[in-house]
Amino acid sequence: MRYGGVEGTLALRGTSLDVAEGEFIAVVGPSGCGKSTLMRLVTGLWPSTEGTVIVDGREVSGPLSIAGMAFQNPTLLPWRTILANVMLPLEVVQPHRGRLRGERAAYEAKARDLLKLVGLAGFEGKYPWQLSGGMQQRASLCRALVHDPRLLMLDEPFGALDVFTREDLWDVLQEVWLARKPTVILVTHDLKEAVYLADRVLIMSARPGRIIAERAVPYPRPRRLDLTYEAEFQAIVHELRDRISDARRAEASDAR
């Protein structure tokens, strides 16, 4: 992927990965390595300069209706209630858009069930400005899930939150994944978050980004936060940090 034409910035080069249906993948790497660009290519928001993206056996040529996305900032619409924000994808994504008028009660019940699952029962009628940042991010996660996406793309969804709220939402996301088993690609700078949540952690090189290594995570689910204090868990985190440090040093050396 190159921005700005043939002389522009090369963000990704030779970037290749496979993700199995129902797998939870985390992507980590140095800042500016192209992690977010990779997300946009997979979901069809941007076309690649060269190469192909295949999702569900088909080449991606535009935005995917089977994908749900959540970002670092919740981006909830301030004039809509939390329930109305969660239901927004149902007004856009087919076939739900065509069914919404006739099946609104069933769809609303599904949205309420999701809000209950993430601990927001009773807040359906509130507006985003009436909720904390962590509560807004829970609502954003519900919005990404309400149309039953088979692919869930998460771009630093907890990066702006304090450590206690972030760890609380790790367990919320784990519970959602266990209940629904979507395929998940999580981009994060938090290596502990990556190891705690993912089946595999993919490590990207410095820009132009490519996958340079992967690390399987050996722990069964459900996982509990006490796991993060165990020596083996911390050793995996340090291993990932060392690989990313190597990638950053390689970038600095190339720049010289």
Mean of the per-residue pLDDT values for the chain? 90
Q: What is the reported pLDDT for 252?
A: 61
Q: What is the reported pLDDT for 125?
A: 96
User: What is the torsion angle, in degrees rounded to the nearest 10, for the CA atoms of residue 206, residue 156, residue 67 and residue 86?
Assistant: -160
Q: What is the reported pLDDT for 186?
A: 95
Residue 18: CA atoms inside 13 Å, Cβ hemisphere, count? 2
pLDDT digits (tens, 9 = 90+) for 154-166: 988 888 788 888 8
Residue 108 predicted with pLDDT over 90:
yes
Domains, the chain, ranges and CATH?
2-66+150-255 (3.40.50.300), 79-149 (no CATH)
User: What's the whole-number mean pLDDT along residues 193-202?
Assistant: 97
Q: 32 in helix, strand or coil?
A: coil
| Residue 115 contacts residue 124 (beta carbons within 8 Å) | yes
Residue 83 predicted with pLDDT over 70:
yes
Structure tokens at 181: 């088993």
* Neighbour tally for 45: CB within 10 Å: 16
Q: What is the reported pLDDT for 226?
A: 96
pLDDT top residue among 202 and 248: 202
Q: What is the reported pLDDT for 169?
A: 86
Residue 33 predicted with pLDDT over 90:
no
